[in-house]
């Protein structure tokens, strides 16, 4: 998660999301009052609590969920804006091509976590930069510049399994 944002501003989020908890390998951000109420519920009976930020895989790597997008996007260090024609392709789970790239934050390194925005500054999802900012300027138009990780289209595609 730290490759996308600075964690300190998130922990002082304006709507009091100042607790992060790990439950069954899921990491959630929640209000302190909700956390105090949830302590009265046995852990094995607790299904979910707060906003799910992501989960740890079996290999102990952290995987962000799209449910954290609204909380992480304002604090993103590296951003990518996609053209209107490429928005739908990204929302269907495809990577961003150079031909669909609108703008990219300066000094974005290769394999750096990025937040993908529409040209109207609406956050669409997460990705990993396949090319650095300098490489994006001289690459072929059909080359992949951002690898897809998660997008808001997952709400529709995986509605029944999204936690």
**Domain limits for position 48:** 7-71
Residues 58 and 93 in one domain: no
Q: Which residue has the tokens 């300190």?
A: 8
Q: Are 57 and 92 in contact (CB under 8 A)?
A: no
Specify whether 61 is located in the same domain as 91.
Answer: no
| Whole-number pLDDT of residue 63 | 78
**Residues paired with 157 in a beta bridge:** none
Residues 67 and 46 in one domain: yes
Is 60 exceeded by the pLDDT of residue 15? no
- 139: CATH: 2.30.130.10
CA–CA gap between residue 10 and residue 5 (Å, rounded): 8
Determine the average pLDDT of the residues in 57-61. 82
Over 90: is that where the pLDDT of 122 sits?
yes
Q: Is the pLDDT of residue 121 over 80?
A: yes
Tell me the pTM: 0.74
Average pLDDT, integer, range 29-38: 68
Lowest mean pLDDT segment, chosen from 41-55, 61-75, 109-123? 41-55
Residue 41: per-residue pLDDT: 76
Same domain assignment for residues 42 and 108: no
Domain presence at residue 163: no
Last residue of a domain, one of 37, 55, 71: 71
Mean pLDDT of 125-129: 93
pLDDT of residue 120: 95
Instruction: For residue 126, give the 3-state DSSP assignment.
Output: strand
Cα(93)–Cα(116) distance, integer angstroms: 12
pLDDT of residue 2: 45
Q: Rg of the chain over CA atoms, in angstroms?
A: 17
Last residue in a domain, options 46, 71, 96: 71
DSSP class of residue 162 equals -
- What is residue 25's predicted lDDT score, i.e. its pLDDT? 55
| 43 and 106 together in one domain | no
Q: Are residues 56 and 83 in the same domain?
A: no
Average pLDDT, the chain: 79
151 part of a folded domain: yes
Using a 10 angstrom Cβ sphere, with 0-12 exposed, 13-18 middle and 19 or more buried, the burial of residue 12 is: exposed
The mean pLDDT of 119-141, rounded to a whole number, is 94
Q: Are residues 92 and 48 in the same domain?
A: no
User: How many domains, the chain?
Assistant: 2
> Between residues 153 and 163, which one has the greater pLDDT?
153
**Residue 110 phi, psi (nearest 5):** -65, 140
The residue among 39 and 103 whose pLDDT is bigger is 103
Q: Comparing 161 with 79, which gets the higher pLDDT?
A: 79
**Which residue, 39, 71, 103, sits at the end of a domain?**
71
């Amino acid at each position: 998660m730290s490759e996308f944002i600075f964690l300190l501003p998130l922990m002082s989020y304006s709507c009091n999301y100042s607790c992060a908890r790990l439950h069954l390998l899921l990491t959630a951000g929640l209000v302190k009052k909700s956390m105090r109420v949830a302590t009265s519920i046995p852990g094995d009976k607790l299904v979910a609590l707060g906003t799910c930020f992501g989960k740890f895989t079996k290999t102990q790597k952290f995987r962000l969920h799209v449910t954290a997008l609204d909380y992480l996007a304002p604090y993103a260090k590296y951003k990518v804006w996609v053209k209107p024609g490429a928005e739908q392709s990204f929302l269907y789970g495809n990577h961003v091509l150079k031909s669909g790239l609108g703008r990219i934050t300066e000094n974005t390194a290769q394999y750096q976590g990025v937040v993908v925005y529409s040209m109207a500054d609406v956050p669409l999802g997460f990705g990993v930069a396949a090319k650095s900012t300098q490489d994006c300027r001289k690459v072929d138009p059909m080359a992949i510049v951002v690898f897809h990780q998660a997008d808001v289209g997952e709400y529709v595609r995986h509605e029944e399994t999204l936690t």
